[in-house]
Amino acid sequence: MKKKIQLRFLKWIMLIFCLIGSVYVVQTSLLYTNAPIKAAKKTELQPGQVRLSKKAEPVAGMVNQWDITLRIEGRNQFPPPPTDIVLIVDTSWSMHENDRMTKSKAAAEKFVDLVLRKDYVNRIALISYNTVVTNYTFNEAGWSNQFVDSKHKQLLIDKIRELEPVENGGTFTQAGIKSASEVMSKAKGEKRKIVLISDGVPTYSYPPTAPYNQLIGMQKFDYLQNGYDYYESVKTIPKENFNYDYVNKEGGNYYGNGAKYRIGAFYPEYEQMPPKSKNRLMANHAHSAIAEATITKNEKMSNGERLIDDFYTIGVDMDSTSQDDEVVTGNQTMKEMASSVDKSFSATADNLEDILSGIAGEIVGAIKSAFVVDPMGAGFEMEDSVTSTQGITEIKNVLGSPTINWNVGALKKPVSNDPDEDVMFAEITYRLNAENEILKPNIMDDNGLAATNGKTTIVYKDYNDSMKQAEFLVPKVKPIIVSLQKKLHNENGEEIENQTELFDFNYGKDQYTTNDQFSLHANNIKKIVHPWKADQDYFVEETLKEKQEYETSIDINGLVTLGNKSKFKFAADANTRAHQQIIVTNKKISEKKSVILHIRQSVLKPNSELVIPSKGFYRAVIDDSDQKLNLNSKSTTKDTSTEVSEELFAQYEITLTKQQKQLKVTDLIPEYYRIVGFIATPTNDNLNVTHLSTNTSALVKSNNVVLDYQKNHAYWVTMFIEPELGKDSHGELVTSPRPYSWDYKVNTFGQ
């Protein structure tokens, strides 16, 4: 005895060393550069482990808008609890429509691949039914069984691929369920499940025995024809009251015509009505199928456990909104046959694979079912609907906050295309906008960050059927605030407070700023949070009323411009965006104001025969009035970037009344010269570049310079002239000026 114990101990020691060695080999393989990236990802989660994540990504090209992704990942248990499954497939003739059979076989094949993974101890048996039932036994090289394991799963897949609808075949659902129960009685798994795929209401059944084939045991239903009262068989017929040995006149064991789920019930299977009776009996095959499913669900094994843990039903192409009696009854039958409402599915031929994958997830996955509650954070609103990879989402208003309720189901979508992938995931995505409510107290923290969501929770059933609850880590984001402060100054530039006068503002009229129209008193601040487009010019504009006589300057993040309109822009890179700090200052306009004019004359293409004027002379008129000014400046040939500077310009300080707006300047052109044009700028920025004749984009070909001093306080003006000798009285071109012409003396405005 002692030697046996020592030998067993040595075996365990050797096994442990082998396991340690294999783990070392796997880990070492990941160090090589050509080791698959997928393998590294697999090691992040242990079998049966679940990971939750939630992230907020700024929407490209937008400000104050984020895409939220809530994700659940779980690695399948390894190995999962040994599970035996009986897969029942309807092969009645209607399954050929809409490729139902083709889609069902493809979905069933994927189901087999998911459940019968390598080293899983699960098994699957196959039953098909139409008018008759086929129960498959699989054989290979000395191996034989009705249940197929992972080593022999190709035998099962091959048989599934061979399934075809049987022409004129009816729907003997009860027989399929009874046969599944008989197969399941031989199961050895810890867990046992039935999965039924069908596209229609049952049209055959086994006839019941007394008293369930008599009027006294029937249910009256709302159907009147020829003055008869109709009764139908019930859903509660027990196992001992079905005639499973029934043989009809064709030699089959089915009762019915294969076309309708209700059929007239006649002697000898059913009680014969007395002569002239106004009662009639109907056999309801759907009720018999429900009764058989109930029998199977209540069946016990020798150890006292239920025969099956779950009974799944999938109705293919049975429109749940249809009012057709056959379809309504078919859907209701599938629901009542299932072990619970959540185990019954209404499928299309196209989403059948998804449903079967979900059932597989319940069998082998880390999460069998889950429910997520995801409320929006204070100050955030949903932009669009929710997109989910699986499950059902519903948005409800809870305490004034939109809240997503997500019925996830089992995890069923692999994180990669690796055929051995066993990490599954589910996720939802939606878009959030930050709104003005986020400015309320205690929403943003000291760093200006706000939580996109409230407490986000998940309740799920894990692989051990234990209920667990966990929370997602809610991301925080930085809302960008546009803040406008209003200031008011008197004529001397001293700040004043006037709480009665309102000033009107707007931020434009695109889809986001169309409602940004507001009014402020002096020293008020208006803060706005909503989506904006990034890397696009936005304008802040003050609209003064008729009696509001003020000069306006706008300071945006320290950059000041004159006038009642200025622009700002958000950085394209979300990481470099900053709040927009805007200060709009109004200064009371005095009765008179001083404005500045800097002016010079430049002679282009000088002629050696002509004297270059040393001065330029100009006539200036204020607002088309009689108030005229005589001005002069230097006149040179300097027209290169190295020559032009502020010293060439004459400066004039001109006093205007607050009503006066414009100054019109005209060059008094010397004889034998012509005007080329002028360049006028409100600043002296880059004079040696902007005030050259080569700057053709700024050159205005005119001798009428109109300067708007309501818009700008100062101007810099260069007038360009060039020689033009003209023609004499005979029409001949003049090649040189006549002696003592205008150019040889100083022209004092024609005097």
Strand runs labelled E in 141-260: 143-145, 191-198, 219-225, 228-232
Q: What angle do CA 292, 298, 304 make, to 5 degrees?
A: 145
How much is the pLDDT for 19? 34
Strand order in the sheet with 467-471: 392-398, 401-407, 367-375, 457-462, 467-471
The residues facing 381 across adjacent strands are: 433
Q: Position 720: which residue type? A: F
CA pair distance 542, 547, nearest whole angstrom: 14
**Number of residues that make up the chain:** 751
Residue 242 bridge partners (DSSP): 208
Side-chain half-sphere exposure of 713, counting CA atoms within 13 A: 11
In b/e form, how buried is each residue of 677-686, taking b as 16+ CB within 10 angstroms?
Answer: bbbbbeeeee
The H or E element containing residue 506 is strand 503-506
pLDDT, residue 665, reads 97
Question: Which of 325, 344, 350 shows the shortest CA–CA distance to 197?
Answer: 344
Q: What is the DSSP letter of 117?
A: -
Contact 224, 191 (CB under 8 A): no
Any residues with CB less than 8 A from the CB of 534 and at least 6 apart, and which? 61, 62, 63, 570, 571, 572, 574, 577
Q: Which residue in this structure is represented by tokens 């800097």?
A: 598
The pLDDT assigned to 33 comes to 30
What is the per-residue pLDDT for 728?
59
* Whether 616 contacts 667, CB under 8 Å: yes
From residue 619, how far is each of 414, 499, 633, 740, 744 by CA, in Å?
A: 83, 46, 12, 24, 21
Residues 307/296, Cβ–Cβ less than 8 Å = yes
Order the strands of the 310-316 sheet from edge to edge: 133-135, 123-129, 83-90, 191-198, 310-316, 344-347
Burial of 597 (C-beta count, 10 Å sphere; 0-12/13-18/19+):
buried
Residue among 398, 478, 385, 377 nearest 428 (CA): 385
Phi, psi for residue 30 in degrees, rounded to 5:
-70, -15
What is the C-alpha to C-alpha distance for residues 386 and 394, in angstroms, rounded to an integer? 9
Identify the pLDDT of residue 689. 96
Residue 650 burial (C-beta neighbours within 10 Å; 0-12, 13-18, 19+): middle
Helix (H, G, I), strand (E, B) or coil at 20: helix
Main-chain phi, psi angles of 100, to 5 degrees: -60, -40
Pairing of strands 367-375, 401-407: antiparallel
Cα angle 385, 386, 390; round to 5:
145
The pTM assigned to this predicted structure is: 0.69
User: Which residues in the chain land under pLDDT 50?
Assistant: 1-41, 740-747, 750-751
**CB atoms inside a 10 Å sphere around CB 467:** 9
Residues 491 and 593: their CA atoms lie apart, in Å, by: 10
Sign of CA dihedral 318, 323, 327, 329: positive
Q: Which residues partner with 19 through β-bridges?
A: none
